Chain A
Amino acid sequence: MKRVLILCLVLCFGCTKQLTQTNPNQQTAETFWKTATDALDAVNSVYGSLMLDGSYMRFTHVIINTRGDDATSNSPWDQIYNCGKFAENVDGFAASAPFTAYYQGVFRANQVIEQVPAIDMDTALKDRVLGQAYFLRGLYYFHLADIYQNVPMPLTIAQSSADYYAHQVSQDSVWMQVISDFTKAATLLPVSYANVTGADANQFGRATKGAALAYLGKTLLFTRQFDAAATQFKAVIDLGVYSLVPNYHDNFTEQDENNSESIFEVQFSRSVGGTTQGWGPGDPQSDWAKYEARAITFGPRNFAYCDVQPTKALYYDFLLEPTAGGQVDPRLYATMFYNTPTMTVYGASFQATYGTADSEVFCRKYENDGFVNAEFTWQFASGINSRLMRYADVLLMYAECLNEQGSTAAAYPYIQQVRARVGLADLATVRPNMTQDQMRDQLAHERFLEFGLEGKRFDDIRRWGWLQDPTKLAWLQARDPEFKTYTPGREYMPIPLAEIEANPGVLQNKGW
């Protein structure tokens, strides 16, 4: 009997010790944040939020393009179909996916900004790490303010469940934070990673001083601070490291990524990483691919899903001004597939595929035409980087700032740099001595063609106040019938219902 009791006691004691189990699969947060490698790995992960379903893998492209008058949707999926028609449902995926993706990025950036300063490491590398984190947080909040207007703004890590409920702030407050983050990033970041010392040497695609300055300028322009914006754009130009690539189309293929015109782009690849597309807002898995799904989503009918198409308005605007040599603007060919006898689509004849009478047009920009016989072949595996900030944009935004400052004549040469690349005649010759207003319209036209299907048009329409101008709105409705269902307030996406339901005090944007 005694032996039994002793056995029992021994067993009991052993059991209690066994109650401590540690996760054998993952490192705990307490043992992280110790070394320079931790810091660099952490900031790398902040970039990871750029390639999510809700960000530039798919749905940000859908939202920022379909709402402009350069793109439209006939998708059978309501989440895409209704997007450009300003008829999203507040609990839909289109409303929640980008919101979720950018806050995931903010959560990661906040960790780097909060934890890395205490790490004992090379100060130059630490500056670069922090600079990138500030840049990316600024970029994520830029998207949140730009897409959703008034949003919650957590800037620190939640320590307990009591910290989950960040207050909603006004769009102006978010813009101020974005300006602050980009300003810090510009001082901390290098012009290039070609000459740095550290594990990040010669890694292209990281945020640079130029990227921070360009985005700082863009934010200042969006908040109509033209003087300050112009200073930033001029600083980018004066860095002397950027130039327009001779072939416009090189900005949208996998062959010429991170080129001299590229100031910041999201890196995608078909050959690096796993083979499982990381759909939805899930937790990153080891087999997650680094693909983007824009190509198959936007590509032409029969070769891709064709959820997004260019408008005929974009097509006709390209025909307005031939090149100095009398040719069609080469950007038309790079931007879309259209009905012309010599046009091929993924190696097939356009007219043989769609008929000669059909006047539909399809997206070519960011498609893999020429490398594959249909986007379906690679399924969702396109590797084309998304160019978020091109030097051409800096030139045209700088020109816009000059015009808004009253220096209309000074704007000409910057616009002409962009026109000259595609062989258009000197603007100073064909349209000399424009007034400030005329120049505004000219810039709108230039931007429309240069950035067609790059998701910049709706931002321009909104910040220029066209939606509040009945004449302009009627003009837009004539060009893109999707604007007929625009109602005031819907220039911003709805705050996702899930956020409103879970975060007391967050109010829906007006109009939804």
Chain B
Amino acid sequence: MKKGWLCLLLTLAALTAGAQEKLTDVKGIVQNEKGEALPGVSVIARNTRNNFSAGAQTDAEGVFVFPKLPSSGEYNFTFTNVGYEAQTLSGYHLKPGTTVSLVVKLSQTMTSLNDIVVVGYVAVKKKDLTGSVGIANPDDVKKNATYDVARSLQGQVAGVTVQGSGEPGGFVNIKIRGVSSLNDNNPLFVIDGVPIINEAPYDFPIDDIESIQVLKDASAGAIYGSRAAAGVIIITTKKGKSGPLQLHYNGYFGSQNIPKKLPLTDRAQYQKITDAAETNAGLPLAPANDPSSPDYISTTNTNWQDAAFKTGIIQNHDVNFSGGGLNTTYNVSLNYFDQTATVRGGPGEPKYNRYNFNADVESKAGILSFGARASYTQSHKQDLTYPHLHPNIGNEIVDLDRAIPTVPVYDTSRLGGFGGTNQITQKAIVLNIVGMNNLLDNYSNRNRFLGNAWAAIEPLRNLRYKMNLVYDWTDTRDFFFEPQYDLGWYYLNTIAYMTDTRGTQYTGLLENTLSYHLEAGRHTLDLLAGQTFEKDDQQFLEGIESGFNPPYFYSFGTGDPTTASVQSGEQTATQTGYLGRLNYDYDQRYLVTVNFRRDGSSKFSPLNRWGNFSSVAGAWNISNEKFIHLPKFIDFAKLRGGYGTTGNQNFPSDYAFTAYINSNANYLFATVPNAGPDQALAPGSIQTQVADPTIKWETKVTSSVALDLTFFKSLDFTAEYFVNTSKDLIAQPPIPLSVGATNTPYVNAASLRNSGLEFTLGYKKRIGAVSLGINANAHTLHNKVLKLGGTNDPIYGAESKTEVGHEVGEIYGYVTEGIFQNASDIAKHATQPNSAPGDLKFKDINGDGVIDANDQQYLGSAIPKLYYGLNVNLGWKSFDFSIFFQGNEGNKIVNGLYQTLMAGQYTNHYIDELNYWTPANTNTNVPRPIIGDPNGNDRASNRWVQSGGYARLQNAQLGYTVPSGALTRTRIIKAARIYLSGQNLWTLTKYQGYDPDIISDGLFSRGFDYGSFPNPRTVMVGVQVGF
């Protein structure tokens, strides 16, 4: 009974209210089973004769009042509160001029069978579901301090996987039942019935959430059409309740740190290894590392991790106003979130902050009801950034760890004041991350307006027409400024450079639905028909200028005007759909759902524009079956299953089916021969890319079977098996370079299958003053590639291979066989070009006597076999305590950071490299370091493959609720709770990198960790106050 507020209001409240003369006061008190007052309970009074209704709420003492109810007729009173069983008192006849007093005791809910689940335009009780729907506990979810709803779902719902990094404001990967698309695997977020197309969880504060449901199969999600192929996450936000204004404040404040540092070499160790690498290559020693050189560095010994990692701050403040009259309710919230980085660096250091304003109003009058919502979000994200001429060396963590100890952090002799390497004496190319963060300015601002208005009319009883309009507008500004500076060898910038990009994207959505509800005897029928239209538009305008001189002004025209240039572009996509659904319920025993949808998209040529998708699902409520007698401890049992298809057209190109002329392919010719640089631009236009005109809809076929059980009135259990097949996946598999195109065209390239088992368990128990709640989930995932393009050619990623019969992004490389100890060792081994004693021996897998690209093999799965999450909540008197464990097992990670730190070149080393092979140190698995690495010791191999499984204490929280008696005297504060919370407190893993919870491309290179920004450890305090 947790999520039912709105629905109860709508379904229980009557539509009309007649004027009455005779009036009665009704008041009462609501208590829990122990006789303690329950504040905030919603009370609905309903006159059964004329359908008049009114609402009220209990105050801090549990008291509610209905002043002056019309007296005639019979009244029902319904009491609802989150976490408690709803109760209805009926048959009250009010006598005019008297006062009726009620005392009500509510008992706590122990099962979730009556939870209301929103499934595609309508709400049903969980026990009546036919499709696969996962329900997250919003209280558990909200304990995770994050800006991102998707992040907070990690480990909370079976079948949902989340990968994230610790970068403030960074995006996360969220997938439902594995990789189902080769483009965007992010599910559709529907917030209060509004499908949010662009980066939904990103701009949305978590505090507003009332409930979260995850639709995992075609039967549940199909009604949302083409956006639903990757699953749907339905979020219902808090709504106003009839009654006086209520004010709530939630806030927390905490600190964040990177919990782990890697053991890297110090100055002397660095110089020893690098000297050996140069000596092995026959090169003279870099003077800075050569003790006999006057340029030898012996005093600088920078520990870059100590220099760069720092404590970050995370804070969140949320103020909520809500209330309403008889027919109109409102809810207004204001939110501020702020997170600073765990990496040092002045004005340019990564950080993220966000302001959010949200207002919601709903009203009804007779057969008409309507609602409107307006959200405004403003966010500022200071990005991880790079010099514009050197964009692709690595990322902030990789460069931080590669920085050598003989460079100081600060160096006033260099322009800008930060240290860097010397080309002649040090030879190493490393980037001073602290300096770069201080010098460069790179941020993204977002202003987002989301407006939604809906109106519904019930012209006939049980026939409802609804029109829903959504307009979602985002303005973005991406700014980059790079001043003149000297960060040493290679990172010298002599020309200041600025880009400023303004973008606009909007989505307009119109939905018309008509629904009809029919009950006849044991038959219940629900019909839904609808039509949708959506338009997505994106525009950008980018200005570029360079040649700025200090003092710098961030405005175009203050640089060198001859360098100024501007670019712009726009793209539009439209889609429309027709949908129909039938729900049939016979005697609460047999339930059937049938969906049909026809979708058209502008992203495909007229020949392939339309797709038809349908699904069917059924459920058998065994516990209601007369001829089956279940044991007494089983309260509820249901068997359900479904099969269906959904379509997907969500790939990032709006005009992929047409070939275009690039008019920027220009050249230049001289205007005067035999002279200076007198050249003029010659316009050049030609087709530079190839396109596949036959591209069409992706189809996903889902099937699942599940058993829902409830035992002992306290234990909910669900087990489910699913098999999903994604066909005609749109992707860009590599094409031969000899085609000469600058792109890889989008084609229907692949088919994949995902299957797995999901288990969900919920338990609630109260023993005296102690309450216990457990929410646990686990799921397995098995992925298999069925088809790849027309030729089934494998697709290669970073140390991975995706091939028919294997998983997406399976780890792939050479296998080491020890180290060549001497020349005869080399002679005995298969031919391995450029190898010498001290180099790694690679296994001749195909046995042809030559080590080449054909001697690679699969080295492990990048997809965990098992994911799990466990929430335990304990309450004792005014104290509450919760812990949340989360983790996964059965996957491998390619530790790309370790690989680059073990390369034995000029950049810094992992301490394992100290054990390198020499003729005197032969009992080792670390090859000799050598500049240029002619043997390819650094190549993709099992050296870098590590176990990726982990178990993490993701959250622990201790809270104290101030007893209501203590608050009564304040007269202002009605409820208060304070808590202490920690996140990412403890991790059990064999992985050697910073953090096994990595963010990668999530696809072909999904197991490759190349300096994923580690997740911080957070310690924070929070308060929740109601006024």
Residue numbers of A with Cβ under 8 A of B are 1, 4, 8, 11-12, 14-16, 18-29, 32, 38, 41-42, 44-48, 50-51, 74, 76-78, 81-82, 85, 87, 89-90, 96, 99-100, 103-108, 110-112, 151-152, 154, 158, 160-162, 164-166, 194, 202-206, 254-260, 267, 269-277, 281-288, 290, 301-302, 305-306, 376-380, 383, 481, 485, 487, 496-504, 506, 508, 512
What 0/1 pattern do residues 657 to 699 of B give for CB contact below 8 A with A? Answer: 0111111111111111111110111111111111011100000
5 residue pairs of the A-B complex, CB under 8 angstroms, read A20-B602, A29-B687, A45-B662, A158-B690, A379-B389
Do A203 and B671 contact each other (CB < 8 Å), given the known contacts A11-B533, A21-B572? yes
> Measured between alpha carbons, how far is A23 from B694 in the docked complex, in Å?
18
Q: Which residues on the A side are within 8 Å of B939 (C-beta)?
A: 89
- B636 on the A face (CB < 8 A): no
Q: Which residues on the B side are within 8 Å of A38 (C-beta)?
A: 685
> Measured between alpha carbons, how far is A15 from B512 in the docked complex, in Å?
13
- B884 on the A face (CB < 8 A): no
- B423 on the A face (CB < 8 A): yes
A152 lies within 8 A of B665 (CB): no
B602 lies within 8 A of A27 (CB): no
* Contact stretch, chosen from B35-43, B130-138, B867-875, B928-936: B928-936
Q: Which residues on the B side are within 8 Å of A260 (C-beta)?
A: 674
**B665 touches which one: A21, A89, A108 (CB < 8 A)?**
A108
Contacts A24-B570, A258-B670, A283-B742 aside, 17 further interface pairs with beta carbons under 8 A come to: A11-B512, A19-B576, A76-B428, A76-B906, A82-B934, A85-B934, A96-B737, A103-B738, A161-B790, A206-B669, A255-B675, A257-B670, A257-B674, A267-B670, A306-B423, A499-B737, A502-B733
**B740 touches which one: A154, A254, A288 (CB < 8 A)?**
A154
B662 lies within 8 A of A267 (CB): no
Least CB separation from B747: chain A residue: A161
- B735 on the A face (CB < 8 A): yes
Q: Which residues on the B side are within 8 Å of A379 (C-beta)?
A: 389, 493-495
- B551 on the A face (CB < 8 A): no
B677 lies within 8 A of A270 (CB): yes
Do A284 and B576 contact each other (CB < 8 Å), given the known contacts A19-B602, A44-B667, A90-B853? no
Q: Which residues on the A side are within 8 Å of B675 (C-beta)?
A: 255-258
Q: Which residues on the A side are within 8 Å of B767 (C-beta)?
A: none
- B804 on the A face (CB < 8 A): no
Q: Which residues on the B side are within 8 Å of A99 (C-beta)?
A: 737-738
> Measured between alpha carbons, how far is A205 from B685 in the docked complex, in Å?
18
Q: Lowest 6 A-B CB distances belong to which pairs? A: A107-B740, A45-B684, A45-B665, A503-B736, A203-B669, A15-B576
A48 lies within 8 A of B494 (CB): no
CB within 8 Å of A: which B282-330 residues? 282-283
Do A259 and B565 contact each other (CB < 8 Å), given the known contacts A81-B932, A89-B936, A498-B734? no
**Interchain nearest-CB distance for A34 vs B (Å):** 11
Do A41 and B684 contact each other (CB < 8 Å), given the known contacts A29-B661, A287-B544? yes
**Interchain nearest-CB distance for A451 vs B (Å):** 21
> Measured between alpha carbons, how far is A204 from B678 in the docked complex, in Å?
10
- B550 on the A face (CB < 8 A): no
Least CB separation from B560: chain A residue: A275
B738 lies within 8 A of A256 (CB): no
- B225 on the A face (CB < 8 A): no
Least CB separation from B854: chain A residue: A508
Number of A-B contacts (CB under 8 A): 316
Residue numbers of B with Cβ under 8 A of A are 282-283, 389, 423-424, 427-429, 459, 465, 490, 492-495, 510, 512, 531, 533, 535, 544, 546, 562-563, 565, 567, 569-576, 578, 600-602, 606, 609, 654-655, 658-677, 679-690, 692-694, 733-743, 745, 747, 790-791, 793-794, 796, 833-834, 852-853, 905-906, 931-934, 936, 939
Do A166 and B736 contact each other (CB < 8 Å), given the known contacts A19-B600, A255-B676, A383-B677? yes
**Interchain nearest-CB distance for B463 vs A (Å):** 9
> Measured between alpha carbons, how far is A11 from B664 in the docked complex, in Å?
40
A25 lies within 8 A of B690 (CB): no
> Measured between alpha carbons, how far is A194 from B669 in the docked complex, in Å?
13
B682 lies within 8 A of A380 (CB): no
Q: Which residues on the A side are within 8 Å of B747 (C-beta)?
A: 161
A19 lies within 8 A of B531 (CB): no
Interface of B is mostly: loop
Least CB separation from B546: chain A residue: A275
**Interchain nearest-CB distance for B730 vs A (Å):** 13
B741 lies within 8 A of A508 (CB): no
**Interchain nearest-CB distance for B221 vs A (Å):** 22
Q: Which residues on the B side are within 8 Å of A485 (C-beta)?
A: 834, 934
Q: Which residues on the B side are within 8 Å of A21 (C-beta)?
A: 572-574, 602, 654-655
B666 lies within 8 A of A44 (CB): yes
**Interchain nearest-CB distance for A484 vs B (Å):** 10
A27 lies within 8 A of B934 (CB): no
Least CB separation from B694: chain A residue: A160
Q: Which residues on the B side are within 8 Å of A105 (C-beta)?
A: 740
B671 lies within 8 A of A267 (CB): no
Least CB separation from A260: chain B residue: B674
User: Counting chain A CB atoms within 10 Å of each CB, which of B673, B747, B933 scores highest?
Assistant: B673
> Measured between alpha carbons, how far is A229 from B492 in the docked complex, in Å?
48
Do A19 and B679 contact each other (CB < 8 Å), given the known contacts A165-B736, A204-B672, A267-B667? no
B673 lies within 8 A of A259 (CB): yes
**B688 touches which one: A8, A104, A257 (CB < 8 A)?**
A104
**A272 touches which one: B493, B663, B680 (CB < 8 A)?**
B680
**Interchain nearest-CB distance for B290 vs A (Å):** 15
**B661 touches which one: A27, A267, A504 (CB < 8 A)?**
A27
Q: Which residues on the B side are within 8 Å of A165 (C-beta)?
A: 736, 791
B736 lies within 8 A of A41 (CB): no
Least CB separation from A23: chain B residue: B655
Q: Which residues on the A side are within 8 Å of B569 (C-beta)?
A: 25
Do A103 and B424 contact each other (CB < 8 Å), given the known contacts A25-B571, A508-B852? no
Q: Which residues on the B side are within 8 Å of A287 (C-beta)?
A: 544, 565, 567
B423 lies within 8 A of A497 (CB): no
B737 lies within 8 A of A42 (CB): no
Do A23 and B740 contact each other (CB < 8 Å), given the known contacts A161-B745, A283-B688? no
**Interchain nearest-CB distance for A177 vs B (Å):** 14
A499 lies within 8 A of B660 (CB): no
> Measured between alpha carbons, how far is A437 from B567 in the docked complex, in Å?
60
Q: Which residues on the A side are within 8 Å of B793 (C-beta)?
A: 501-502, 504
B669 lies within 8 A of A42 (CB): no
Least CB separation from A110: chain B residue: B740
**B578 touches which one: A12, A14, A205 (CB < 8 A)?**
A12
> Measured between alpha carbons, how far is A12 from B682 in the docked complex, in Å?
48
B794 lies within 8 A of A501 (CB): yes
Q: Which residues on the A side are within 8 Å of B601 (C-beta)?
A: 19
Do A87 and B736 contact each other (CB < 8 Å), given the known contacts A27-B660, A27-B663, A276-B544? no
Q: Which residues on the A side are within 8 Å of B671 (C-beta)?
A: 202-204
A285 lies within 8 A of B664 (CB): yes
Least CB separation from B742: chain A residue: A283
> Measured between alpha carbons, how far is A11 from B509 in the docked complex, in Å?
12
User: Counting chain B CB atoms within 10 Å of each CB, which of A19, A103, A282 scores highest?
Assistant: A19
B934 lies within 8 A of A47 (CB): no
